Amino acid sequence: MKVSDWLTQGFRIGLVLVVVAYGVGMVWFIYFADRVAIADHTVLVLDLKGALVEESPGGLRDKVLGELQGESTDSVRLRDLQMALALAEKDKRIDRVLLKLDDFKGAGLASLREAAGAIEKFKTSGKPVLAWSEGYDQRQYYLAAHASQVAVHPMGTVFIEGFGRQRNYYKEALDKLGIQANLIRVGQYKSAGEPFILSQPSAQALKAEAHVYDALWKLYTEGVEQARKLPPGSVAQHIDSLPGALQALNGDAGQLVKDWKWVDQLQTLESLRQTLMDTVGKDEDGKTFRQVGFKDYLQAQLKPVKGAHIAVIVAQGEIGDGRAPAGKIGGLSTSDLIRTATEDEDVKAIVLRVNSPGGSAFGSELIRDQLRIARDKGKPVVVSMGDVAASGGYWIAMAADQVWADAATITGSIGVFAMLPTGEGLMRKLGVNTGGYRTTWLAGAYDPRTALDPRVQALVQSGVEHVYADFIGKAAQARKLEVAQVDELAQGRIWTGAQAQGHHLVDQVGSFNDAVEAARQLVGPTKGADQALPIRYWGPKVSQVQRWIQQYLMQLAAQVGWGVGSYELTPATGLPGVNTALKEDFIWLNGLLDQTQAYTAVTHCLCQITP
């Protein structure tokens, strides 16, 4: 037999072995995936890795590729955290909770308040919650502060810095390049495009941000002080005294936060592990304490919802026109979910959970109109706002029977803008000229290589003003206000949820659970029901076998990724803060330019305000 034949035969045998191994792995995974044994006196470990989100972003392909490339795809769904704590509260096998936060990336204050509320509810069972981290940043500490006991590594600390942001302003740089931003907007507070036409923040932008930041900071500090039983105003006082206080302790930041009673003890993870082994006992191997991870715990406990229920549809991320994967909002894909929920006889009401800074006005209208259709067909609709429900995120909420927001939700920003960048100055500097024959002035009228035609600017201004008028008109009708009243509250200005309620832009301030209960009240008594209507998160139908396959592929990708990562090219290094700011400022602009139509009216607030 030739060498080539031997190689071919060997490859075939190897391929068969891989397929067999894969099949055996699938059978094992499907059979054992849900079998999690939980003994008495078990610690529920909430090892929160990644950001706290409404929906895990990306599809299976994105996650598998991320694992193969060595990139973290971790995130924690808020509902999973809440459900795990709710189940553990009544589970006699769960002795206590360990909240491990060193890899937690946080969320907006509204989501943190929801998670903290679930921790406080769990504590009413009399079971303790222990928090530990190598060191707490501001977001991590908000959750830790609600634990029964807070520990930090002896070399760690708590870093609370307050609220605020610094933005890049590009006008002078664009002038040097010969680029004109050509911002067209309605609303004196619609500051999303200001960095491209100004060299510093406008007075209106500073006024609006100060109004919101101060309110958020008050909510944050009061939440921490109440949870830790600290004197009112003490957090701000300690920050003011920080330089001298730290110097007096020779720079020992861990001891400082212990003296301030921000933490209860300085403890290594190994010491904490030994303490828990002594308290609840050891696991079967005798090497650590008896424990179960919250994702495994949920997988073993949750049962599918059948029969009459309330459909919860998550609208998270930026709003586009078409279809979008999890973690983003597509006008078509999200409205399709609403439509299928409306047509399902088991769905008695719809709760739309919104966490979005906005985006396409057209995509927003597709979703709003589909919610209107649901109401017209007799399905109650309640909107629950998360961290951000502003601009387009507010637009999609306008067709609801009731709108609920957290006190810390960023909402409003009722305004519209469009941007048509042109680089005629840059072309001149390069010595490049543009010209050609056109049958009408409108053919190629917007060309980034040439100055903006005043007629095009007039057309876009008219379109933007029309969208704004439509926006405030729909808001006035939905909120039962005069158009002039809404116009005064709009102008692109953002509000906290509490402020928005005071201006009648939302109905109630409360949690997601409050919004669900409101939906139950709107449905009223259900025939044959002896308990409250359950909720079901509504999305593309995925069978249990498909879920097992997805989990198996994710684990397989993680294993393969360990071997691939060391051979990857290292990306070019730079200044992380600068790179992040540039990405946030320009990625949406790139999306505007990548359109088939001449321009897009954008309802986006660019208000990513997180603690």
Residues with catalytic function:
190, 391
CA atoms of 88 and 92, how far apart (whole Å): 8
Task: Match 């730079």 to its residue by tokens.
Answer: 574
Summary count for the chain: helices (H), strands (E): 22, 23
Q: Distances in Å between the alpha carbon of 254 and those of 141, 153, 235, 265, 367?
A: 14, 8, 16, 9, 49
Q: Is 329 left (phi over 0), alpha (psi -120 to 50) or beta?
A: beta
User: Chain centroid to CA 66: how far?
Assistant: 19
Whether the Cβ atoms of residue 188 and residue 204 lie closer than 8 Å to each other: yes
Helix (H) or strand (E) holding 486: helix 483-489
Q: Where are the alpha helices (DSSP H) in 69-188?
A: 78-90, 109-123, 138-144, 171-177
Contacts 24+ apart (CB under 8 A), 226-229: 227/116, 227/120, 227/145, 227/146, 228/145, 228/150, 228/261, 228/262
365 Cβ neighbours under 8 A, 6+ residues apart: 331, 395
Cα 270 to Cα 282: distance, rounded to the nearest angstrom = 14
Amino acid at 189: Y
What the block records as the tokens of 274 is: 């030994």
Q: How far is CA 394 from CA 349, 362, 474, 599, in A?
A: 20, 13, 11, 22
Q: What is the dihedral of CA 231, 232, 233, 237, to 10 degrees?
A: 0
478 contacts 399 by C-beta, under 8 angstroms: yes
Neighbours of 525 (CB within 10 A): 7
DSSP β-ladder status, 309-316 and 347-356:
parallel
Using CA of residue 235, residue 236, residue 238, residue 239, what is the dihedral sign? positive
Is residue 356 within 8 Å of residue 389, measured between CB atoms?
yes
Listed in sequence order, the DSSP H helices in 201-268 are: 203-228, 234-240, 242-248, 253-259
CA dihedral 242, 248, 251, 255 (to 10 degrees): -80
- Give the C-alpha separation, 450 to 458, whole Å: 17
Please report the DSSP string for 513-574 in residue order: HHHHHHHHHHH---TT--SPPPEEE--S---HHHHHHHHHHHHHHHHHHHHHGGGSPPPPP-
Give me 415's structure tokens: 């305004």
Q: How far is CA 294 from CA 63, 74, 114, 547, 594, in A?
A: 20, 14, 17, 17, 42
